[in-house]
Structure 1
Amino acid sequence: MEKFSAWRDKATGISPFMPQPFPISQKKSNKTSLYLQLFLVKIPIFLIKFPICLILISLYYITGSTTILNIIFKLLFGFNEITYSVDGIKKSQISKLESYKPIIGDLIISNYISPLDGFIFSLISGTSKISILIPNKDGNLFEYSPWSLVNHCFGNKESKQPIQELSKFNKKKIVFLLLEGTTSNNQSILPFIKLNSKYSFENEFNIKSIVLKLTPNYFNLPTTIETSKFTYLFELLTDFKIKYFKIKIYSFNQLNLNEIRKSFELNSLALINNPELSIDGKEKFINYYLNHDIKK
């Protein structure tokens, strides 16, 4: 992968935008075996699950019920129970863990790794009353729902106006802030985008961070070079490996971005400080990767 060295962080050796294909499309696999698995197993399972999935997704879209969302993740997608942990608190200390649970008035900085992230935010919050804020490369914030976050993750540009002020959020919704501005492959935390000076979080919110780790790692989606929405859903419904999100929550007295970045580093996400490995760098990586003159 030396031809992609321009998008490899020199300090950590990590290439944060390098995608990992799903097993069914990996070139080194036995194609005959893969085709048999596809036509004899995966497609029949998909045909059974897909209509049920459409019904449940429609119900969730109408009601916003996290109970329905939990059924989708556990029974259809095959995720383990989605739980979270806090340093120094045992899993048996339920009441203490509950005190860290996202609540209205929280501003939570999270890493951004997949189109599922927004729905995970809803599940661990126990409510659909969440807002997801993402900066563009100029530092202007835009608001997303779990649904529109899927489109953002897949690179669809939406005609939105940037948020002008933040005070309307602190009493109505739980706010998740994705300061990387774009997805990575869950090996690192990208440089945080510097926000426009008009945004102030001081004294407005309770500050927390959430570290997301998704397994298997081919469900992380740093780019959509080899994956469409349909392919991603197909694999969610037919992949046999146990899937789970590992979630860690931290609480802070103030919005100290250096301390917040350390919370990700403590959970095996390398800190990338190279400003070239951000939104613009990702666009250049994709253009280079898709250059048909390059032999992959």
Structure 2
Amino acid sequence: MEKYSQFRDRASGIAPFLPIVGQTPTISVLFHTFLFVVRFPLLISACLFYFCILQWLPIGSLGTKISLWTILGIPGIWWVDLQIEGVKKGSLAKHVQTRLPGPGTVIASSFTSPIDVVYLAAIFNPVFTTSYPGTRKVKQVSLLQAIIHAFDSPEPTPPHSSKADLIDISTLIKRNPARCVVVFPECTTTNGKGILELSPSLCSATPSTKIFPINLRYEPADVTTPIPGSYARFIWNLLSKPSHFIRVRIAESVSQEVLQTCRPRQADVSDATLNHEQQK
């Protein structure tokens, strides 16, 4: 894993905490301003209507998906390129149970933007968590709290008031058997150009629990929020562009049980060496 100092890794030159600046031609400033003025009240109204009213009503999974996709559609997030490792295009229906996250599984997602949270909620209806660098336990958070967390400053340790709310992933799965659990193991947002040292929170899952690594990238990439508190910049970049494109990559699931099986046991290695010496 890369270690970063002064916002840039000296060896690779990667700067995961610097915002990506998009280029807006001067001639199109009026057009982008028009889009922002039209979309801003629509997005605010849709968010307030969902988070203040709809999420407390029994609208079901379909109603939740429609509401969240409406929120994503207002700023022009229509195109999603979804690729699943080991699955050919057109054959996804044959592998839904094994290649996609489902109840009792864990999603280890990249964390670059609040859009990550809304997209994952619209597709998988998961339980969201926040991770911390020094503990295997996580804190369960709501959808709105997970969105706000994308703008928060990194927290090296859990707040003192939240320590009582920390929980193991295995226990969280038992409490929510019909849903999957989303973990952001990098603990904070980046611009997507580097991978931070991961939290040990994934180790609190049971050895047999399937963990699906998921990576989300955006075009234009200026909707990432590596700088804490960058609400205004994010809203402008989100609403002033005609459309946004998401690339989603879902890797094959892994588990601690599989990893331990793949590691050669020390005894086997010693026996093989002994047998080889006896043959000489």
* TM-score normalised according to structure 2 size: 0.71
| 1:48-88 CA-partner distances (Å, limit 9, x unpaired) | 564455435555533461122122213x1211244532223
Task: Report the counterpart of residue 180 of structure 1 in structure 2.
Answer: 186
Q: How does 1:43-192 map to 2 (within 5 A)?
A: 43-47=37-41, 50-52=44-46, 54-56=48-50, 58=52, 60-62=54-56, 63=59, 65-74=64-73, 76-82=74-80, 84-99=82-97, 100-125=99-124, 127=125, 130-139=126-135, 140-155=137-152, 159-161=161-163, 162-171=165-174, 172=176, 173-192=179-198
Query: Which structure carries more helix by proportion?
Result: 2
Q: Which amino acid aligns with 2:166?
A: I
Q: Distance in 1 between matches of 2:129 and 2:41?
A: 35
Q: Residue 10 and residue 43 in structure 1: after superposition, are their counterparts in 2 closer, same or farther (change >3 A)?
A: same
Q: Residue 252 and residue 41 in structure 1: after superposition, are their counterparts in 2 closer, same or farther (change >3 A)?
A: closer
Contact 1:153–1:183 (CA<8 Å) still a contact in 2? yes
Q: Residue 53 and residue 9 in structure 1: after superposition, are their counterparts in 2 closer, same or farther (change >3 A)?
A: same
After superposition, the CA RMSD in angstroms is 3.3
Contact 1:17–1:184 (CA<8 Å) still a contact in 2? yes
Could you say what secondary structure the match of 2:120 adopts? helix
Contact 2:130–2:184 (CA<8 Å) still a contact in 1? yes
2:234 maps to which of 218, 232, 244: 232
Q: How does 1:13-24 map to 2 (within 5 A)?
A: 13-21=13-21, 23=23
Q: Distance in 1 between matches of 2:173 and 2:86?
A: 28
Q: Residue 47 and residue 163 in structure 1: after superposition, are their counterparts in 2 closer, same or farther (change >3 A)?
A: closer
Q: How does 1:278-293 map to 2 (within 5 A)?
A: none
* TM-score normalised according to structure 1 size: 0.68
Q: Distance in 1 between matches of 2:257 and 2:130?
A: 16
Contact 1:89–1:96 (CA<8 Å) still a contact in 2? no
Q: Residue 50 and residue 176 in structure 1: after superposition, are their counterparts in 2 closer, same or farther (change >3 A)?
A: closer
| Larger-Rg structure | 2
Q: Which stretch of structure 1 is more off in the superposition, 232-241 or 155-164?
A: 155-164
Contact 1:184–1:221 (CA<8 Å) still a contact in 2? yes
Structure 2 segments unaligned to the other structure (5+ residues) = 260-280
Q: Residue 205 and residue 5 in structure 1: after superposition, are their counterparts in 2 closer, same or farther (change >3 A)?
A: closer
Task: Report the counterpart of residue 222 of structure 1 in structure 2.
Answer: 226
| 1:114-169 CA-partner distances (Å, limit 9, x unpaired) | 112222212231x3xx2223322322522222210122111178753342333332
Q: Residue 238 and residue 256 in structure 1: after superposition, are their counterparts in 2 closer, same or farther (change >3 A)?
A: farther
Contact 2:128–2:181 (CA<8 Å) still a contact in 1? yes
Number of residue pairs the alignment of both structures matches: 241
Q: Which amino acid aligns with 2:8?
A: R
1:243 maps to which of 242, 245, 254: 245
Q: Distance in 2 between matches of 1:66 and 1:214?
A: 21
